[in-house]
Amino acid sequence: MYPLQNWVYGLALSLRFNLVFSLITMGGYVLMKNKPPFKLTALFVLVMLFLFHSFLGVAFYALHDGMWNSLEEFFKGILFFIFITLLVRKKDHFEGIIYFLTLALCFYGAMEGGKVLLSAGGHKMSGILGPLGDNNKVALGLNMTIPLVLYAISETKVKLIKQFLRVLLFFCVLAILGSASRGGFVALLVLGFVYWWKNGKKLSIIFGFLFMAVVTVNLMPSSWFERMDTLKEAGQENTLISRVTSWKINTLAAMDHPFIGHGFNATAIYIVWRDYAHNLDSLNFFVDTPIPTKGYVAHSIYFEVLGNQGFVGLFIFLLILFLTFSKIKFLQKHHFERGTWQHNLLGSIHVSLVAYCVGGAALSAAYFELLYLLVALVICLQITALEGQRPPSHPSAV
């Protein structure tokens, strides 16, 4: 696991790229004369409310500096979210964001997928230092990016770019398989099913599945199949038991602090989880869990928010997801006709969010920047739709 900064040389090693580009973007927006129109939407307000609520748990129950660091990282992601909603309006803007994601995250996925192929399935992805810090999170990010790559393939007219993106897609799927992430594998299957259900080209999707199945059977080692086979025996599997233990502890923590929670990853801290470890029997759901000997991260976007921000924070988080899905359907039905690039992009974002909700069910990724980027794109499309509805201004009669 290593930072992307290690892939550059010389002066670039000490240059803080994110900071430099962020300052240029913010400064450029301040100096911009004709700023894009902006309308305050319910989704935007909810995300800002979620940020504020996440601050409350840290402010009241900050147990270590790591909480403030996590809040700072989340704030940076929301700052990115804000400026996307302020600036992105035209098709070129949206596609610029899509290609940025494709060339960034999928570059890493293609590199790891190439290692999986060359090692005959022996390579296991480790992750990138930061928000994609382990194999599970990289698998989640790649699953969320695949629908956006498919959108780019459908929209580009350049055959060479189409072929490049298809090759990139193939290696990203290999990377997900090679990550040995069961959540990533399930999310990949869900992606395929959703596309099969919604797409008219069902036969081509079936052939695509068969092709990847043949590749998987002939490439992946027996240890990979043994690991995936544990999905059938979840109740006896140690990693799942540790996850359920964490879910119970986060639930007990939320019951103790229902309004603002304990703050970021508090239930992984000894002085917090020890207070709930002996009360696990009070929550007899799913599987029985022994008393833990150490703290665990939440291992679920839903229980992560529950423990971090209480029931109020979880309600806001779920409302953001629900309203985003609802807004996508509303915009597709009432504003953008089938076949338009806006309709297609909204469909891709919808599938990407489904992958997030499924893959994140057993993964701590509630504050993953890609989620809020997708929400920002939906807000931008909503603003463009509202601007298109506004009647043109007419000069007053002389």
**295 CB neighbour count, 10 Å cutoff:** 19
Model confidence band, residue 79 (pLDDT cutoffs 50, 70, 90): very high
Residue 339, class by beta-carbon neighbours within 10 Å (0-12 exposed, 13-18 middle, 19+ buried)?
exposed
Residues 6 or more apart whose Cβ sits within 8 Å of residue 126: 1, 134, 135
What is the per-residue DSSP string for 330-360?
HHHHHTS-TTSHHHHHHHHHHHHHHHHHHHG
Model confidence band, residue 183 (pLDDT cutoffs 50, 70, 90): confident
| Rama region for 15: left / alpha / beta (φ>0; ψ in -120 to 50; rest) | beta
Checking if the pLDDT of 247 tops 60, the result is: yes
**99-122 residue pLDDT tens:** 988 888 888 888 888 888 888 777
Q: What is the C-alpha to C-alpha distance for residues 347 and 333, in angstroms, rounded to an integer?
A: 11
Checking if the pLDDT of 203 tops 70, the result is: no
In the Cβ-directed half-sphere of 61, how many Cα atoms lie within 13 Å?
24
Is the whole model's pTM more than 0.85, yes or no? Answer: yes
Of 35-44, 102-111, 131-140, where does the model show the most confidence?
35-44
Checking if the pLDDT of 379 tops 90, the result is: yes
Least confident segment among 181-195, 235-249, 256-270, 362-376: 235-249
Residue 6: per-residue pLDDT? 62
Residue 14: per-residue pLDDT? 73
**280-332 residue pLDDT tens:** 878 876 677 888 887 778 889 999 999 999 999 999 999 999 999 999 999 99
Residues 9 and 59 sit within 8 Å (Cβ to Cβ): no
Model confidence band, residue 193 (pLDDT cutoffs 50, 70, 90): confident
Of 144-153, 211-220, 371-380, where does the model show the most confidence?
371-380
Which percentage of the chain shows pLDDT scores above 70?
Answer: 84
